[in-house]
Structure 1
Amino acid sequence: MLIDFSEIPKSNNLFLDFINEFELVKNYYKINFRDESLYKSHFEKIVGRNNPNKEKLFEIINSQYSNFHPSEKTSSNINTLKKPNTIAVFTGQQLGIYGGPLYTIYKIFTVIKLCDYLNEMFSEFNFIPLFWMAGDDHDFEEISYINLINKENELQKIIYNDGIDPFENRGNVGNLKFTKEIMEFSNSIKDALRETEFSNDLFNLTEKILNENISIKDSFFQLLFKIFDETGLVIFNPQDAEVKKLLIPIFKKELLDYKEHTKDLLITSAELDENYHAQVKIKPINLFLQDETGRHLIEPVDDEYRLKGKRKRITQEEILNHLEEKPEDFSANVLLRPICEDYLFPTGFYIAGPGEISYYAQAIPLYKHFNLQHPIIYPRASATILESNIAKILVKYNLSTHDFFIGSEKLKSNLINSFSQNNLVEEFDKVELSLKDIFKSLTDYLGSVDNNLVNVANSSNDKMLHQLNILKDKAAKAFENKYDASFRQISKAQNSIYPNDNLQERELSIVSFLNKYGFDFFDWLYNELDIHDFKHQILEL
């Protein structure tokens, strides 16, 4: 089953036009992802660019995999990065505990399946799936929890509290190491889930990737390696100090020449705001600097710089010296990140979600400024997994997955109306009227026989109506119990299909599914996801 994104709440208009009416947004994206006739010339431009980073990147990636034993397919892909006709197909995501929401998995399967398709269709090129681990972000609160369906079929949010003041600037999330509190988090996951034949495998993985003194970055890497290594996915850590050395020219140009692109970025964002919505507020400099107090945006002040929220100024000479000596302290924001990616690699495609598609629209002036080829932006697969027990509830109550997208309160209101007691009341009203009519006729007849029988008849009528009301109350109570059970079932379906009034892929972790179905779940998902149908997919499991 497929659902058009226009029928799904919260779908932004820029994304809808990108998917369905590309001509309306073609000024913000160089190539229509649907038009495969343009692919080859695009690939030729990508491989035609001189890339001095190839050998060094090969060394860096091998170093990042030094503690792992990659599969033959992944090793082959890493080696292929050195070949002249190689094209990188990227996706990426902010780091998250246990991989974050399901859409991270959908992104990766999209990039893998797209590479398989491109390698078959354009055999003169080599397409490599890569994942950019965005560990430089500093929003700890956003990644510090998972949502799962617990043993009571309820939506449960499990939070990792690292024991640090929630308002403290922790700096780059990727470098943070789990504290002893991670054990409480892991135990909460175990307590929440019903034990199955697959639980031991899940908990063994949990113990490996969620333990004290392992960094969030390393935990994320280990998870992706476990799940995707056999597919050939190359996981890339851009926080690596050696990577940051390669990015010095980009960071330096951003610091020195920011005035050249700020005006163009503002113009593009104003156009987007007029017609759609600008996702990011434009800043003069798209760089952060990490110091002992956290990660801070770099702001220009006259001919000098300062860190946002701080008074101390930094001279141009000081900041450039810092860049040369410790480039790992610098990191790009969401607009400059694609530039870093496409400067380092021959990127032909980026697999993006709706929010990222908006970022790329704003970032297009930066590609001209840095003289880089804009990749084809390809939408990630989007899906809701409909489990068989949930599908049965939908059949029982004549509901579709689409019915849940109206939100829990509206759905509840509709259900109350459909489960209304009007039919029950009407049936008892009919019986009561019939009894009254029958007894009126009977009373009239008995009165003609013996007037003393009228009181006896009226008394009998009252007793029968009283018994009828007792039965009516019992029936109403039984109805309420039946309604309550029904609503509990539908609430169970709501938690699975549209948790927190949001798409399942944006809320649920993979944890519940791994516990119920094991790691074969990923094989099923790979086969079911269609990356060429750009609608929301309902996948029946």
Structure 2
Amino acid sequence: MDCKTQHLSYAETGFFGKLVLDYLNEDAQLKPFYGEFPSAAAIGDAIGRRKAVATNRALLVRALRHQYRSVPASDQVNAHLALLEKETTFTTVTAHQPNIFTGPLYFIYKILHAIQLAAQSKKLYPEYDFVPVYYMGSEDADLDELGHFFVDGQKRVWDTDQTGAVGRMKVDKALLELINGIEAQIGVLPYGSEIAHALRSCYQPGVSIQEATFAFVHFLFAGYGLIVVIPDNAELKSIAAGLFKDELQNGRSAAMVETTAAQLTAAGYKVQAHSREINLFYLTDQGRHRIERSGDRWNVVDTAHSFSQAEMIKEVDEHPERFSPNVILRPVFQEMILPNLLFVGGGGELAYWIQLKKIFEYYGVPYPLLVLRNSFLLINRKQAALVQKLGYRPLQLFQSPHDLKNDWIRVHSGQKLDVTAALDNIRHLYSNLKAQAAPVDGTLLQHITALETHTTKRITELGKKMLRAEKRNHQDAMNQVTKLKAQLFPLNNLQERIENFIPFYAQYGRALIDTLYQHSLGLEQEFVVLEAL
């Protein structure tokens, strides 16, 4: 697929916050919270740290092979599963909840970034092997966040009465009706039937959302050897039994996170995640509930479950799958089960990961290198032609519709709309008046200043009125700007945070995934504008 790209700094786009930008700039005050910034040399250091801590590879691969029995075999995946058994193999990981039908575009970008990092690491350290991993946060119970998606700007919502962990919810009639709606919307496109068939094959009635997401991600990325991990698994969670017991009995993580949060706040950063006294949930098919300690009893909120210390420890030993780490302990559990080096996450994820380094250190779990996920703006040929016609550069597109329209008018209007010269003349006039009045009566200066302020304000308002009038004179162009901005930045946000990938796949097929991979960056940290898909 022929495309041209332009790389922008994240700061230039205006869509990223202080913490992300400071992280990318390797700001000194942020460095203590994460250690090393990702680089070729840092990967080598991470390999050394990871080799010093044992990973239960046999258990990991056994659990993964069991999970992969449900999907078509892939030579690339099988090869990577075999590599994971070797002490010289490491992972590059991204994590995300099982949004229905993958949710926003960045779900795809994160995975491709992890795949690209594995390939880049192999080139840097050919004596080792690197396997890309998608870790599924299937125990998240926030259906409001995970149960909707946008297709060509239209919001579609899964209207189900199921509760609890979204990954354990089942594909029902309402979800199948969403697939029907998608197919009706994209069926006429070249690959619309292909992607609709894949959705139907993966999201079958009665299948859990985590199993359906597993199958769908496998369909999309098996050719790259991506390994999908569903951590909602008794065998995998048995690795963290010691962590769970310590958290239940001693609640160490809360104090460590609280200390770090205070330090981050003092340094001027907003705290992303908040700790509880016990950062574990109790997970069953009936729901995911907080665990609270009251004296010598551990109670599961909003349920009849209550445990003594001995009963709780026994429950961890016999049913580790019933204990679900929240945002504070999930990263630690993730890194306990995987021989990982690099973690790919969005700005919000980086913000809470840097709160957790003390917990990693306490439990002796190697802290990974944090990589801000890739960002793309996808511009199709029709949109690219309109961008060219309107005379915009890619960076300009990140401005507000108001500023975009003003830019167009300033370039294309034949009228003199700029009142800067007039304002300069006014400042000169009133400066002369002040010089003239000062020797006569100094109290007049305040009156002259007030007159100047009033006149400047009126002239500025006149300039804005002329600009608005000229916009009305070019209403067709202004409408085109409005339409273009709405397509590329839906809901005044980045495209990748709103739009789903399905209509793009329906138009371009698997070539979309391959093209995105070809233009995915690894350790380089820049925003990519991908034009003329």
Residue 354 of structure 2 aligns to a residue in which SS?
helix
1:135 and 2:127 aligned: no
Match of 2:165 among 168, 172, 176: 172
What is the rounded CA distance, in whole Å, between the counterparts of 1:223 and 1:386 in structure 2? 25
Q: Deviations over 1:439-490 (max 9, x none)?
A: xxxxxxxxxxxxxxxxxxxxxxxxxxxxxxxxxxxxxxxx96962x434433
Per-residue Cα deviation, 1:168-214 (whole angstroms, up to 9, x for no partner): 7x111101002111222112212333612222212211221233212
Aligned ranges 1:164-203 → 2 under 5 Å: 164=161, 170-193=163-186, 195-203=188-196
The equivalent of 2:256 in structure 1 is: 264
What is aligned with 1:74?
77
Give me the whole-angstrom Cα distance separating, in 1, the residues matched to 2:37 and 2:301: 38
1:219 aligns with 2:222: no
* Structure 2 counterpart of 1:161: 159
- Going from structure 1 to structure 2, the CA distance change for 1:251 and 1:412 (only over 3 Å counts) comes to farther
Picking from 2, 13, 29, the partner of 1:8 is 13
| Contact kept in structure 1, 2:275 and 2:328, CA below 8 Å | no
Residue identity opposite 1:364 in structure 2: K
- Cα deviation 1:64-88 (Å, max 9, x = unaligned): 0112233222111101111121212
Does residue 148 of the first structure (1) align with residue 148 of the second (2)?
no
TM-score normalised by L of structure 1: 0.82
- d(CA) in 2 for partners of 1:408, 1:137: 36
Shift of 1:41: 3.1
Q: 2:495 aligns with which of 473, 485, 504?
A: 504
Contact 1:74 1:232 (C-alpha < 8 Å) held by counterparts: yes
Counterpart selection for 1:334 from 327, 330, 341:
327
Alpha carbons of structure 1 residues 423 and 159: separation in structure 2 relative to 1, 3 Å: farther
Deviation at 1:418, TM superposition (A): 8.5
**SS in structure 1 at match of 2:86:** coil
Q: CA deviation at 1:495?
A: 2.8
Aligned-partner Cα distance in 2 for 1:211–1:45? 43
Using the alignment, how far apart are the partners of 1:158 and 1:398 within structure 2? 34
Q: Deviations over 1:85-128 (max 9, x none)?
A: 12121111111111121111111111111111111211222211
Is 1:248–2:238 an aligned residue pair? no
| Aligned mates of 2:74, 2:284 — CA distance in 1 | 38
Whether contact under 8 Å (1:47, 1:86) holds in the other structure is no
CA contact (8 A) 1:73 1:232 kept: yes
1:114 alignment partner AA = L
Change (3 A) 1:417 1:284: farther
Aligned-residue offset at 1:412: 6.3
Flag structure 1 segments of 5+ consecutive residues without an equivalent. 150-154, 425-478
* Matched ranges for 1:30-41 at <5 A: 30-34=35-39, 36-41=40-45
Q: What is the CA distance between 1:496 and its match in structure 2?
A: 2.8
The question of 1:99 aligning with 2:102 is answered: yes
Aligned to 1:64: 67
Matched, 1:45 2:49: yes
With over 3 angstroms needed to count, the CA separation of the structure-2 counterparts of 1:311 and 1:208, relative to structure 1, is closer
> Match for 1:20 among 16, 25, 35?
25
| 1:130–1:234 CA contact under 8 A, matched in 2 | yes
1:117-516 to structure 2, matched below 5 A, reads 117-149=120-152, 155-162=153-160, 164=161, 170-193=163-186, 195-258=188-251, 260-274=252-266, 275-291=268-284, 293-308=286-301, 314-408=307-401, 411=404, 483=475, 485-516=476-507
Per the alignment, do residues 341 and 482 of structure 1 end up closer, same or farther by CA in structure 2, a change over 3 Å counting?
Answer: same
Q: Return the offset for 1:399.
A: 2.5
Query: Structure 2 counterpart of 1:82, which letter?
Result: E
Query: Distance between the aligned counterparts of 1:416 and 1:182, measured in 2?
Result: 46
1:276 CA displacement? 0.6
CA distance in 2, matches of 1:292, 1:38: 42
Tell me the SS of whatever aligns to 1:66.
helix
Compared CA separation, residues 12 and 181, structure 1 to 2 (3 A): same
The answer (yes or no) to whether the contact 1:158–1:189 under 8 Å persists in 2 is no
Task: Give 1:492 shift.
Answer: 3.1
Cα 1:421–1:40, aligned 2, differ >3 Å: closer, same or farther? Answer: closer
For 1:197 and 1:89, the matched residues in 2 are separated by 34
Q: 1:57 to 1:398 in 2, by over 3 A?
A: same
Structure with bigger gyration radius: 1
1:256/1:395 Cα in 2 relative to 1: closer, same or farther (>3 Å)? same
Q: What is the distance in 1 between the residues matched to 2:290 and 2:15?
A: 30
Native 8 Å contact 1:177 1:216 kept in 2 = yes
Q: Give the superposition deviation at 1:39.
A: 2.8
Q: Does 1:519 align with 2:510?
A: yes
Query: Structure 1, residues 5-40: CA drift from partner, whole Å, max 9, x if none?
Result: 223344121111111134331111121113x22332
Q: Distance in 1 between matches of 2:284 and 2:73?
A: 35
> In the alignment, is the contact (CA less than 8 A) between 2:253 and 2:279 conserved in 1?
no
How far apart in 2 are the matches of 1:407 and 1:251? 48
Compared with structure 1, are the counterparts of its residues 252 and 364 closer, same or farther at alpha carbon in structure 2 (3 Å cutoff)? same
**Over aligned residues, Cα RMSD in angstroms?**
2.6
Report the equivalent of 1:467: none
AA aligned opposite 2:360: Y
Find the residue that maps to 1:282 and give its secondary structure.
Answer: coil
State whether structure 2 residue 524 is matched by structure 1 residue 533.
Answer: yes
Q: How many Å apart are 1:421 and its aligned residue?
A: 12
Q: Which runs of 5+ in 2 are unaligned?
A: 1-5, 418-470
Partner of 2:427: none
**How far does the alpha carbon of each residue in 1:309-343 deviate from its partner, in whole angstroms, 9 at most, with x for none?**
56975422232232223222211111211111111
So what's the TM-score if we normalise by structure 2?
0.83
CA distance in 2, matches of 1:262, 1:191: 49
Partner-residue secondary structure (3-state), 1:385: strand
CA distance in 2, matches of 1:312, 1:48: 40
Return 36-45 or 307-316, whichever deviates more.
307-316
Query: Shift of the alpha carbon at 1:388?
Result: 1.5
Q: Distance in 1 between matches of 2:313 and 2:112?
A: 40
Residues 185 and 410 of structure 1, relative CA distance in 2, 3 Å threshold: farther
After superposition, the Cα gap between the structure-2 partners of 1:414 and 1:212, relative to the gap in structure 1 and judged at 3 Å, is farther
After superposing the two structures, state which structure 1 stretch, 275-284 or 313-322, moved more.
313-322
Amino acid aligned to 2:278: I
Distance in 1 (alpha carbons) for counterparts of 2:283 and 2:305: 15
* Correspondence for 1:441: none
Taking the aligned partners of 1:417 and 1:186, their CA distance within structure 2 comes to: 46
